[in-house]
Structures are given as C-alpha cells and as structure tokens.
Amino acid sequence: MTKPLSGLPFTKMTGSGNDFVFFDGREVPLDVVTEPEAIRRICNRYNGIGSDGLVVLEPASGGADVVIHFYNQDGTAADLCGNATLCSTALSAQLGMASADGMRLTTGAGLITSRLSGPAGQGILPEIDFQPVTDIRPESAIEPEAGEQRIGFVIAGIPHLVILCDDAEAVDVAGRGPLLRWHTAAGPTGANVNWVSRLADGRWRYRTFERGVEGETLACGTGAVATATLLASWGQVTSDTVPIVTSSGRVLEVQLRPLGSDTGSAGVKPTLRGEGRVVFRGVTGDL
C-alpha cells in the first residue's frame, strides 16, 4: 500500500497550456514529492491533480536565486523545460524568492537569467534567457515523409527534432511522433519532435510530441526555441523575433541573437517570452 501524499500545499500553473504542479521546497521536502511513483500519482489527470510535469522550487546558493527541479509526467527528471521555467520565474517573484526585475535560476541545463517584463499596456510576462545554442544540425539522417520538407536537430537545453512541413495541423502527431522520438538520429535518450508550418499572417504554427509525457502537449517552450533556431538556420525567417503559435492558441515569442565572434563558436543566444500563469492553489488530499 502506497503512502498517501496528503496535506501538501501546491500551485497549479500553465504556460500556454503546458501545465505543471509546483511545490515550494521551503514547505514541502524535495524527496517527498519527487519519487517517480509520487510524481506519476500527482500528475495523473484522473486520480491526481493532473499536469504535464512537476516542479519543486528551492532557494539557491553560489550567486543564483532559485533552483528548479523539473520532472516529466512519467516520473523522469529533465534538465530543462522552457514553459516550466517561464512559470518558475513568475512564481518565484510571487513567493518572494527572487526579484521580478531579474533573477538567476539554476537548472540541469545551466544557469538561466529571467525577469518579468513587457511594454506598458501590453501585459507583463516572464522572459527567460537560454544558454547559447551551438549544437545545430540543419539536416538530419531522417527521410521526410509526404508533407514534410526537411528535418533538423538541435539541443535547446534538451534534444529536439524539428520538421518543416506543409501544414502542422494535418500532421498525425500521435502516429509519427513515437517513431521519430526514438529514432537513432534523436540521440540515445530520444528527443522531442516538433512540426512547424507558416501561417497566412506570417507567424509560425507548431505542434510537439513531448518525451516524458509520450504524447502531444499544448505547448513546449524548449520546442519553440528549437523551432525558431532551425527556421533561422534554414533561412525561413528574416526577423530576430519569431512568433510561435501553440496548440492552446497562445503565442510564444523567441528572440534569437547570434553569438559574437568573441565567443569563438557559431550559434544563437535565445530568449523566450510567454505565459506563466497560476491556475489555482490547493492542498493535496490522499493521492
């Protein structure tokens, strides 16, 4: 008989439909909620709270403000989740763990700087600066299928395949996703898989099959960064800011700045801006 996960305060958040259960590590010990079985019970959409992933925020040391511990719905840990980091930025400011004007977040993919920002009258949103993306492969060994134009690979915190296609809405994500997620070109741990196509208004529509969830999610922050990075590499975008329309209808904005010659390497320094919204707060019952 498993022990009930009862009496634990939590916050449910969404980043463009990519949803997470958050715990404040100052109130809930990390080891209580991060056992794989506990994560699966909490994230279960029928018998638990329900989410794509679970996050524990803890105070950091050594010059950072907050440590982000991120876990996928299936109980596996991941180095980075873009939307969870957007949500972490908003929640860390709300909880008084860091300044809304600027914070330093420790993740498995390195140190992330972030802030809450936005033009006057247009809403304040979290914005995060990724570590430089240098592992960019515009062409992979995967043969495109009908309706797919080209397939590239990039590591944007975690591995991603990106497929430029005729119509992202028409893609059989559930059918093709698992095959590509574990393709040898996706690396030993597999990769998220993103399909992207241009909309009539010039923006880009993408859909993601996400590892750890093992299905399509409504949004993927690292996927948006990976998608924008490869679109730029393919010469598909002319602006340094790329608007990506998620399956929830909300927009993630990716700004790409080229690495300067002083870094000694090719690549981009991405910034991701998007939703990080509290949906509700509560206390667990007997999960």
Provide the annotated active-site residues: 81, 220
DSSP code per residue over 4-41: P--S-EEEEEEETTEEEEEEETTTS-HHHH-SHHHHHH
| Alpha carbons 51 and 264: distance in angstroms, whole number | 41
Residue 38's contacts (CB-CB under 8 Å, 6 or more residues apart) are 5, 32
Q: Which long-range contacts (CB under 8 A, 24 or more apart) does 48-51 make?
A: 48/287, 49/10, 49/12, 49/21, 49/282, 49/284, 49/287, 50/19, 51/12, 51/19, 51/20, 51/21
Q: C-alpha 30: how far from its chain's center?
A: 21
Question: Using DSSP, how many helices (H) and how many strands (E) does the chain show?
Answer: 5, 17
Element holding 69 (H helix, E strand): strand 66-72
